[in-house]
Amino acid sequence: MKIPRILFAAGSSGSGKTLITCGFLQVLVNRQKKVASFKCGPDYIDPMFHSRVIGTKSRNLDTFFTSRELTRYLLEMNGADCDIAVMEGVMGYYDGVGGNTSQASAYDLADTTDTPVILIVNSKGMSVSLAAYVKGFLEYKKNSHIKGVIFNQMSPMLYPRMKALVEESLPVRVLGYVPKVEDCTIESRHLGLILPEEISGLQEKLLRLSKILEETLDIEGILSLAEEAVDLSVAKIPEEENEAFSYHTEYPLRIGVAKDEAFCFFYEDNFQLLRKMGAELVWFSPVHDQKLPENLDGMLLYGGYPELYTKELEANEEMRHSINTAIKGGMPCLAECGGFLYLHEELEDMEGGVHKMAGIFPGKAYRTSKLGRFGYIHLSQQKDVLGKENMGKIPAHEFHYFDSPNCGNDFYAQKPGSMRGWNCIHGNQRLMAGFPHFYYYGNPEVAKAFLMQCSEYSGGRTK
Question: What is the DSSP pairing of strand 431-434 with strand 333-336?
Answer: parallel
**What does the alpha-carbon distance between residue 135 and residue 45 come to, in Å, rounded to a whole number?**
31
Strand order in the sheet with 84-88: 59-61, 35-40, 84-88, 5-10, 117-122, 146-152, 173-178
Cα separations in angstroms, 45 against 5, 51, 188, 197, 305: 22, 10, 11, 11, 12
**What does the alpha-carbon distance between residue 117 and residue 171 come to, in Å, rounded to a whole number?**
13
Q: What angle do CA 197, 203, 205 make, to 5 degrees?
A: 110
Q: Which residues pair with 355 in a beta bridge?
A: 347
Asked whether 248 and 279 are in contact (CB, 8 A), the reply is no
Cα separations in angstroms, 406 against 78, 270, 283, 360, 410: 39, 27, 28, 11, 12
Backbone angles phi, psi at 412, to 5 degrees: -115, 125
Q: What residue type is 121 in one-letter code?
A: V
Cα separations in angstroms, 233 against 36, 77, 237, 416: 18, 12, 11, 29
Asked whether 357 and 344 are in contact (CB, 8 A), the reply is yes
Asked whether 455 and 250 are in contact (CB, 8 A), the reply is yes
Cα-only R_g, the chain: 23
Closest listed residue to residue 61, CA positions, set 122, 24, 115, 23: 115
**What does the alpha-carbon distance between residue 333 and residue 386 come to, in Å, rounded to a whole number?**
10
- Catalytic site positions: 337
DSSP H helices in 152-199: 159-169
Burial class (CB in 10 A: 0-12, 13-18, 19+), 120: buried
Asked whether 441 and 70 are in contact (CB, 8 A), the reply is yes
